Structure 1
Amino acid sequence: MNKNFDRSIKSLSVLLGVFIALIAILFGGLLYLKQNPEALRNQANEGLVEISEENNDLITDGIHVATGFVDDEHLQVVIQNCTSCHSAKLVTQNRMSKEGWKATIKWMQETQNLWDLGQNEAKIVSYLAKNYAPKNQGRRAHIEVAEWYELK
């Protein structure tokens, strides 16, 4: 009986130790995210952290942390109208001209039940065409080599 009691105490001690370690890791992670907004934005974009009221309007390095959108005029209009139906990532991964964004909005209205945006449409298109316009580059920027050397 004494052996079984000792095993039970050891098992409980191990479980308690694991529980305390998990709490410490969770607390440390939350403290890190609170002090490092860039990490919070990356975690939020990956769907690993939920954006709360406390950090919903946080702007870091010109980027709205909760959505990943560029901080610019009409940002809130874009957030209110675009992210109520889909992720901001769906917007930020695309690059279109003013005409392309208008055509996309029209397509969403015709096929996806997007409501009439009224006077907000011009604001949204202006924001998107400015901040998510096409870029004249390939899949990645050219690699700049400062100094070539010969392999021997």
Structure 2
Amino acid sequence: MKFLLIILIGFSILASSFTERTDNGSIPSSFAAVSDTLKKDKETGLIVDKDLFMVKAQCTSCHSSKLIIANHFTRDGWKQKIRWMQANHNLWDLGETEKQVLDYLEKYYAPTQTVARREALKDIKWYKLEVK
């Protein structure tokens, strides 16, 4: 029982060390925590938004919404994926709806930055190990 408690405490400490950073280095509220509180579509698992219907119409008619949820690209990255699907998988021209789709994907499925390493140690006092 103590072993399980130690593992749970270790995981909670590790999880708290992952902190999202913006481009200027400031720490906003964690997007992961915010996205967990957003309402999700029961059918697709995608985040509910005014543009969700368009994303469902343009994207999930050919592939699972899990492909969207599992990937996080910049706006340009999503646009490149759309172009790739148009070139290789006969995706139709999205026309005026492409902006809505890209707005949605950029807003909810963009890359998140986390810091996984602790700050470097300072004032380390090294000592020599003696082998007996």
Answer yes or no: same fold by TM over 0.5.
yes
| CA distance in 1: counterparts of 2:111 and 2:42, whole angstroms | 23
Residue 124, structure 1, aligned to residue 93, structure 2: no
CA contact (8 A) 2:38 2:47 kept: no
State the number of aligned residues: 81
In structure 1, stretches of 5+ residues that fail to align are 1-59, 143-152
| CA distance in 1: counterparts of 2:57 and 2:98, whole angstroms | 12
Name the residue aligned to 2:78.
Answer: 101
Q: Indicate which of 61, 67, 79 corresponds to 2:44.
A: 67
Name the residue aligned to 1:88.
Answer: 65
| CA distance in 2: counterparts of 1:76 and 1:122, whole angstroms | 13
| CA distance in 2: counterparts of 1:73 and 1:99, whole angstroms | 21
Per-residue deviation at 1:74?
0.6
More helix by share: 1
TM-score using structure 2 length: 0.58
TM-score using structure 1 length: 0.50
Residue 115, structure 1, aligned to residue 83, structure 2: no
| CA distance in 2: counterparts of 1:62 and 1:108, whole angstroms | 28
| CA distance in 2: counterparts of 1:117 and 1:127, whole angstroms | 14
Larger radius of gyration: 1
Residue 71 of structure 2 aligns with an amino acid whose one-letter code is: N
Q: Which fold has the larger relative contact order, with Cα–Cα distance below 8 Å and residues 6 or more apart in sequence?
A: 2
Residue 137, structure 1, aligned to residue 101, structure 2: no
SS of corresponding position for 1:89 = helix
Judged with a 3 Å threshold, the aligned counterparts in structure 2 of structure 1 residues 61 and 100 are, in CA distance, closer, same or farther, namely: closer
